Amino acid sequence: MSDQEKSVGVLGAGTMGSGIAIVSARAGFKTILVERDKETLDKGLDLIDRFFVKSVKKGKMTPEQKDLVMKKNLIGTLKYEDLTDCEFVIEAVFEDLETKKQVFCQANEVCPPETIFASNTSTLSVTSIAADSGRPDRTIGVHFCLPAQVMKLVEVTRGIQTSDETYDRTMEFGKKLNQVFVTTVETPGFILNHFIVAFNNSCIKAYEEGLASVEDIDKAIKLGLGYPMGPFELLDYIGMDTQLQVSLALFEQVQDQRFWPPPLVRRMVDAGHLGRKTGKGFYEYKGAGMFGA
């Protein structure tokens, strides 16, 4: 947990932003977590704190290290002005093109020219986001996997205008973050979502059509293929609202039926059965916290 020289900004304190902030602060970066909504910010900081409490309990860090990370490295704020010293600004706001463009525009006004803007988009075009960021050559895609605080993999994707220098500095940054950065081609969904969105939709569709029960499909996939989670356990973690949104975003770009959300997705979203976060999805849950330690 060495001290890194540069600061990292994270935009958005939702599940993904909080997870990325954990990775950054844990790697020793001064991490500025920016959120426009006070309540969301406090909730995010609380989740992060609870995550590190678990890390201490499991012996993954000492109480002193936790204090250092929480009190010195991590700064929650509502102001973009606090981003002025950041070498990297990673946005993890709502997966919507306009929202992402808008937060980068705001950051562009306060950040120095050398700051790299990294988008955590999973399904949108990096080139589109970069085009309106105010610095297209210094904008790149860095897609962390859910749950970011546990998964080591990050997909790095260059937009058409991303410069070689930006790419090289990003790959360097990956090493300092202790993450595995894999380069992908800019194609909708990159690698992971190209596969997992289609896979999960095929499972939902088959369940809806009566192939087998939720429990049996999960059991078959886990024990038959050695996957760590069954598709429905994973969907409950991801959230059905997110599944709907990424499915639509991918379908719109490629018009491939594999990405079209099966009708059950919308029904569950309409009913508020979003998964863990609402206490009910394909399974029922009591109490919510952050994954891993």
Partner 1 sequence: MKIEKVGIAGFEGPGVEIAYIVAGAGYPVAVWDADKQALDRGKNAFNQFVDRAIESGTLEKEKKEQILSQLTSGADVTLLKDVDLVIESLSDDLDLKNKVFSDLSDVVRTDTVLATTTSCHSVTEISNNATNPERALGMHFLKPLLERKLVEVVRALNSSQETIDLVVDFCSKIGKETVVAKDSPGFIVNYFFVPYMNQALNYYDHGLGDKKGLDTALKMGLGYPKGPLSLIDQSGLNDHLHLTSQLYDRLKDPLFAPPPILKRMVDGGKLGKKSGQGFYKYDENS
Give the binding site for partner 1 (CB under 8 A). Answer: 145, 151-153, 155, 180, 182-185, 187, 190-192, 194-196, 198-199, 202-203, 206, 211-212, 216-217, 219-221, 223-229, 231, 258
CA dist., res. 245 & res. 242, Å (int): 5
Task: Give the nearest distance from C-beta 184 to partner 1 in angstroms.
Answer: 7
Nearer to partner 1, 220 or 271 (CB): 220
Catalytic residues: 122, 143, 155, 193
- Three-state secondary structure call for residue 172: helix
Task: Give the nearest distance from C-beta 19 to partner 1 in angstroms.
Answer: 14
CA dist., res. 148 & res. 84, Å (int): 25
Q: Alpha carbon of 225 to those of 88, 202, 217, 221, 230: distances in Å? A: 38, 16, 11, 5, 10
13, containing H or E segment: none
Nearer to partner 1, 215 or 252 (CB): 215
Task: Give the nearest distance from C-beta 143 to partner 1 in angstroms.
Answer: 9
Nearer to partner 1, 99 or 213 (CB): 213
Cβ(162)–Cβ(137) under 8 Å?
A: yes
Nearer to partner 1, 34 or 126 (CB): 126
Nearer to partner 1, 82 or 186 (CB): 186
Question: Residue 236: which of 192, 189, 199, 285 has the closest Cα?
Answer: 285
Q: Which residues of 235-272 are buried (b: 16+ CB within 10 A; e: fewer)?
A: bbbbbbbbbbbbbbbbbeeeeeebbbbbebbeebbeee
**What is the spatial order of strands in the sheet that 116-119 belongs to?**
74-77, 30-34, 7-11, 86-91, 116-119, 139-144, 153-158, 180-184
Task: Give the nearest distance from C-beta 155 to partner 1 in angstroms.
Answer: 6
CA dist., res. 261 & res. 243, Å (int): 8
Task: Give the nearest distance from C-beta 94 to partner 1 in angstroms.
Answer: 22
